[in-house]
Amino acid sequence: MLGSMGRLRSLRVVRGSVHGVRAVDVAQRTGLTIAGAQRALMSLAGTGIIVQIVQGRGAVYRWNEEHPFASLLAALFDSERQRRTAVQDAAVNWLETAHAHPLALWWFGSSARGTDTFESDVDLMIVGPDDRTATQAIANTLEETLAPVGIRFALRPNIIAYTTADFHTLPEKDPTMWANLISDAIVLHGPTPERLYEQLAMPHSANSSPNARS
């Protein structure tokens, strides 16, 4: 059941669904091709841990609560989910007590997509004021807050800090990073990456409210 990354990722998705999922849904959430998702789901259905329900020309796959390994695997995935969201939760708590807030804080990358492995970093990005020292100070306090969480859950929080000026040039200077932000970013604070970029491009952006959620 857990012998390949494709089956593992597919099983996570099915476990997290209440009403069942199609192969195309699994492909979208795991980064697998539709054919790869179908192969993984058919293999898992063969073990009995998920059930295939034919609907028209397609099929929906659901978690089988009656399987002898169902409760053990559910507990494993629940613990894994808690580990994945531990940094996110700690960052949100930090925002409530921090003396200086960034303009935006995003969770992105493989851990946000749900395609991470045990060795993957947990990527967070902050956008601070147009003052490199102040922005780095905010990043340092967040890093200190997340350090014990990283030790407890065997995680590596990775904080990327940009000033507003740096962020505004990101699409041109690092289009790959920008594309990842657009597709993956989960907003923990402030606007979305696209909205913040638009606000910073406005002639009177200083009078706008970057912290307003989009």
HEC string of the chain equals CCCCHHHHHHHHHHHCCCCCECHHHHHHHHCCCHHHHHHHHHHHHHHCCEEEEEECCEEEEEECCCCCCHHHHHHHHHHHHHHHHHHHHHHHHHHHHCCCCCCEEEEECHHHHCCCCCCCCEEEEEEECCCHHHHHHHHHHHHHHHHHHHHHHCCCEEEEEEEHHHHHCHHHHCHHHHHHHHHHCEEEECCCHHHHHHHHHCCCHHHCCCCCCC
pLDDT score recorded for residue 112: 86
Beta bridge partners of 128: 163
Domains of the chain are 5-63 (1.10.10.10), 82-207 (3.30.460.10)
Note the pLDDT tens digit of each residue in 137-154: 999 999 999 999 999 999
Q: Is the pLDDT of residue 214 over 90?
A: no
Q: Report the distance separating Cα 128 and Cα 139, nearest Å.
A: 9
pLDDT score recorded for residue 185: 95
Stated pTM of the model: 0.72
pLDDT score recorded for residue 213: 43
At residue 203 the predicted structure's pLDDT band, cuts being 50, 70 and 90, is low
Q: Is the pLDDT of residue 178 over 80?
A: yes
Q: To the nearest whole number, what is the mean pLDDT of the chain?
A: 90
Note the pLDDT tens digit of each residue in 88-125: 899 999 999 988 899 999 999 988 887 777 888 999 99
Note the pLDDT tens digit of each residue in 36-62: 999 999 999 999 999 999 988 889 999
Q: Is the pLDDT of residue 205 over 50?
A: no
Region of 149 (left: φ > 0; alpha: ψ -120 to 50; beta: rest) is alpha
